[in-house]
Amino acid sequence: MMKAWKQKSLYLVILTIITALVLAGCTTTNNKNEGTPTNVAPTEQQPTNNGVESSNNEKLETSYPLTITDDTNTTLEITQVPQKVVTLLPSETEILYAIGSGEQVVGVDAFSNYPNEAKEKAQIGDSTTNIEAIMALEPDVVFASSTMNTAAIEQLRALDITVYATDPKTYEAVIEKIQAIGTLMNKQQEAEAVAKHMQSVKDDIVTKLSGVEPKTVFFEVMEGWTVGSGEFIDEMLQLAGGTNVAGQTPGWYEISVEQLIEMNPSVILFADREGETDVLTESIKNRAGWEVIDAIKEQKVFPINEDQVSRVGPRLADSLQHIAAALHPELFEQQ
């Protein structure tokens, strides 16, 4: 049952993203300057760690009230350390646990399965958010995706519920989001540790790949669907030493057999669902017409953990390592 829900969820995610892009007039979000917290209290000089107070080697502390702008260009004022928070998608759940704010999480979506402790939290819906359930939990802040939770965000804000919504499109933007959430939750040092690990993984991979010829790669999100330019997975493929053959088209889209044959990738990666690796691998290898593709002929078809690669949170670093190892096994050990 859960496998069916996960597949349905991924399909709904794709449709939601496409719908959001259409409604937004195909505009893009600038993540570089958004989601940055600022301290509303007057200071003699603007600090480099905005909203953060520190003295020598003492632990960094957020100065409240805190003003922060999210990726919907909505400015929020956080008056004190949030004691009760709700997440509408797994990536935000994972971030909060990674920075040590798991105890403050009182509600999660049905797909928040990591870490295991998250499964014990009250559920507030799956691909459809249960607004009444969230209201009953009386959260100080709700963490959401500005593209996948648009309806819920609108409803919650109409009810005066504080919602912090993001939509990072790059690996660096994910790191910045984690740091911003760390400031919001008064967990700056913990968030910085996560950020440094993610940056270190990226830097190590980029260094090892210096001067190495990229491999042409196709990433299958689900059967018949792939991801093009402008999305974080496209950048992940490039960082890991690949050239996304589907990168000529932006966003998430459906692709035909004829198109893929013409693209002729040397490696095929696919979003792997737990317990279905062998079935999915054989399905891809035996699809009609695909036998002429170099990746199929050379048996270069590899699974990438669906949860890790699809969630804009700390485990993107793990996924980046897995992709690099699949594309360039001579340089990286299989994780």
Which is more confidently placed, 333 or 315?
315
Please name each of the domains of the chain with its CATH number: 28-37+63-201 (3.40.50.1980), 210-327 (3.40.50.1980)
Q: Is the pLDDT of residue 263 over 80?
A: yes
137 within 8 A of 158, measured Cβ to Cβ: no
Residues 228-259: tens digit of each pLDDT: 999 999 999 999 999 999 999 999 999 999 99
Return d(Cα 211, Cα 17) in angstroms, integer.
35
Strand 301-305 and strand 267-272: the pairing is parallel
Residues 195-206: tens digit of each pLDDT: 999 999 999 999
Torsion of CA 227, 150, 107, 252, to 10 degrees: -10
Which pair of tokens denotes residue 120?
């014990």
Q: What is the pTM of this model?
A: 0.83
- What is the pLDDT averaged over residues 315-325? 97
Q: Is the pLDDT of residue 33 over 60?
A: no
Residues 122-167: tens digit of each pLDDT: 999 998 999 999 999 999 999 999 999 999 999 999 999 999 999 9
HSE-up of residue 73 (Cα within 13 Å, Cβ side): 3
Q: Is the pLDDT of residue 1 over 50?
A: no
3 within 8 A of 275, measured Cβ to Cβ: yes
Torsion of CA 46, 47, 50, 52, to 10 degrees: -130
Percent of the chain with pLDDT over 70: 82
